[in-house]
Amino acid sequence: MEKTLTDAEIDRIIEMAWEDRTNFDAILFQFGLMEKDVIALMRQEMKPSSFRMWRKRVSGRQSKHAKLRGMAATRFKCSRQKTISLNKISKR
């Protein structure tokens, strides 16, 4: 991970990584972090038990991987996303 992230950006990435409907492509689009970078960030910022729980939850989950989601789920914004002020996607 080359880019230096602010605390607010780190918090938002962690929040997006925990959300079921937000896939890794959305995080890549908004913050430029690939899935492996998100995993490394989560490992660094979370307690070991929380990280293991997250990895177990995310591994193989269709909603977190755009290629596995199928054509029907092309949207990665949640209905409440407009209210998040630091989100670039909602400002389009």
Q: How far apart are CA 52 and CA 43, in angstroms?
A: 9
pLDDT at 88 exceeding the cut of 70: no
| pTM check: above 0.75 | no
Q: Which of 24-28, 51-55, 83-87 has the lowest mean pLDDT?
A: 83-87
Collect contacts of 79-88 with beta carbons under 8 A, ≥24 apart.
84/12, 86/8, 86/9, 86/12, 87/12, 87/30, 88/30
Contacts of 23 (CB under 8 A, 6+ apart): 63, 64, 65, 66, 69, 76
What is the average pLDDT across 70-83?
54
Q: How far apart are the first and last CA of the chain?
A: 27
